[in-house]
A and B are shown apart, each in its own frame.
Chain A
Amino acid sequence: MSEQAAPGIVAAAAATQRRMRFGFLLNLTLLGLLLLMWLLLTLSTDSFATYGNLSNLARQASLFAILAIGQTFVIITAGIDLSVGAMVGLATTIVAVLLTSGWSIPVSVTATIAVGLAVGWVHGFGIVQLRLPPFIMTLATMTALRGIGLLVTGGQTIGGMPLAFGRFSRESVLGIPDLFLAVIVVAVPSYVLLHHTRWGRYLYAVGSNREAARLSGVKVNRTIYLAYILSAGLAALVGVLTASRIGIGVATTGEGWELQAIASSVIGGASLFGAVGSVAGPLLGSVLLTTINNGANLLNVNPFWQRIITGGLIILIVYFDQLRRSRRA
């Protein structure tokens, strides 16, 4: 009797394996695309394959990558965090204000990240307790956080931070920019969290079927809090790193970065419907996006065109991804 069921089951197992291979292949395809772009840029410009340009690219990509990893946690729960760009801006002003008022670097950095975590908690509160849709909740804080940053600084640019603070973003270890090392410090624990802890499981479970997760005894609310706290906390970290890099605190920093983060995550294979996403995806996605911008700069493409091209490429990449997914289904 059970023999009748066997073919279907073998097919299911094979499909699962195929799916895993596809996930791997997607990343390989993105990697291939990235390498191709690098090759073409190396051949067509003198300035691309220089240490200066590459380390600059790595620094910029690092900021987006950390932001995108945080965003991915939220996207996996079928949510969205539109406020991360604003959080970056606010964090640059907070860390700058604290440092210029004489607080030490560790205290200022810790306090800034704590503010980020608190903002994430507020998102969780709005989404869980007040039952606001994530889009609305974070759209509201997206504008409110900018307002707070402008209020705190009176709309001014805060400069004059200690030299030591700027050093981190400029220095390198063995030729690798410290900022890039920061990505690794974020990505590795993120990977472990997502794939090797029960909290990671719960993020996927909540995104896949919230009711099923709840009835399985998963603490759904805490899981949602976790995702938004991580996202906002990482955004605050990016804010600190950005302040270190540009040497000033400006409330308008990071305008549009939320879209970069979401795009990186989605290009990297995350699904806005939830339960699909990885850590490697947003890493590749952010490097890809940064390369496109960097290459366009080097090729003297009109910056207005750059935006159009970036938008078009996002549509194209995600379309091909959808195509592949539907073929496999």
Chain B
Amino acid sequence: MIRTAFLVASLLLASFADAHHSSAMFDKNRVVEITATVTEFQWTNPHVWIEINIANEDGQEEAWSIEGLGPNSLFRNGWRPNSFKAGDVIEIRFNPMHDGSNAGGFIGAKFSDGRTLGRWD
């Protein structure tokens, strides 16, 4: 169980409607916003993946996989292959999985220097 989860309006919206697969596994009515540490960034087709560690309620680190869109469209929207680096401490928002598993659909991220990617408003 992660520390912070709250309900807001759906933010997943348009993006994952164009994913190469169904996005129904993500709960579009829930948004998790939490501090995370990046462990790996997979800049790959058909989706990029942000691998992160999140502290659970007991303070123990859990590995989560956050799925983004494809690298081509993201590149044209300002992302780069090194947008996330292992060790980055970020604030991240995502739609969690319906079944509570450790994955989610990316919404936005804020870096320690104030930069943001995705939706962060």
A binds B: no
Interface set of A (CB-CB < 8 Å, partner B): none
